[in-house]
């Protein structure tokens, strides 16, 4: 019992650290990239939330921002980038194309990046306002703290399976 409380508290402390130091991998494919630049630039400044440091290697990042339309042809690439990231990891679908395919209802566009990888927070808008992105980051921080991110839940389940078996 005592150990359980201790590990829970440890997890909380780790999540507290994680949520204030999200290392972003911007998977920028389309026009939403302009809005991403705006969010990252001094005026809106996601550095205030500890997510200011874009890493251009998936292995050094824990937040995948899918910024723009994902085509069917890009699906395997997106999946590979996601698989390369170290656990725990989170995904934000930035804009309506990454969330649902947007107005591209055709042969080439994927109807949402969540067809390939699990997405934690969806940002609507074409493109979204920077305030919406900041809102999404705050939502994600809450999710990180509570351990409800997809990869956190998966890790927890796997730990339980290992402990049980």
Of 106, 162, 163, 164, the one binding other proteins (CB under 8 A) is 106
**Would you say how long the chain is, in residues?**
165
Minimum CB separation from other proteins for residue 3, in Å?
Answer: 28
Contact with other proteins (CB under 8 A) among 118, 125, 139, 155 = 118
Q: How far is the CB of 158 from other proteins (least distance, A)?
A: 12
Out of 8, 108, 138, 142, the only residue in the binding site for other proteins (CB under 8 A) is: 108
Among 28, 30, 37, 75, binds other proteins (CB under 8 A): 75
Query: What secondary structure, in 3-state letters, does the chain show?
Result: CHHHHHHHHHHHHHHHHHHCCCCEEEEECCCHHHHHHHHHCCCCCHHHHCCCCECCCHHHCCEEEEECCCEHHHHHHHHHHHHHCCCCCEEEEECHHHHHCCCCCCCCECCCHHHCCCCCEEECCCCCCHHHHHHHHHHHHHHHHHCCCHHHHHHHHHHHHHHHC
Q: Does 76 bind other proteins (CB under 8 A)?
A: yes
Return the residue of 107, 162, 163, 164 that touches other proteins, per CB under 8 A. Answer: 107
Contact region for other proteins (CB under 8 A) — 4-12, 48-56, 70-78, 130-138?
A: 70-78
Residues that bind other proteins (CB under 8 A): 72-73, 75-76, 79, 105-108, 110-111, 114-118, 150, 153-154
């Amino acid at each position: 019992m005592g150990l359980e409380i201790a590990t829970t508290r440890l997890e909380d402390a780790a999540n507290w650290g994680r949520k204030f130091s999200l290392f972003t991998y911007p998977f920028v494919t389309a026009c939403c990239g302009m809005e991403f630049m705006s969010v990252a630039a001094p005026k809106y400044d996601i550095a205030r939330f500890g997510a200011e440091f874009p890493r251009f290697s998936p292995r050094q990042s824990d937040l995948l921002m899918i910024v723009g339309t994902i085509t069917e042809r890009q699906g395997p690439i997106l999946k590979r980038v996601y698989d390369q990231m170290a656990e725990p990891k989170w995904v934000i679908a930035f804009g309506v194309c990454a969330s649902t395919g947007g107005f591209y209802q055709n042969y080439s566009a994927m109807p949402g990046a969540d067809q390939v990888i699990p997405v934690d927070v969806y940002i609507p808008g074409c493109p979204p306002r920077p305030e919406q992105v900041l809102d999404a980051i705050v939502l994600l921080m809450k999710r990180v703290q509570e351990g409800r991110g997809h990869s956190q839940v998966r890790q927890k389940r796997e730990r339980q399976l290992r402990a049980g078996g």
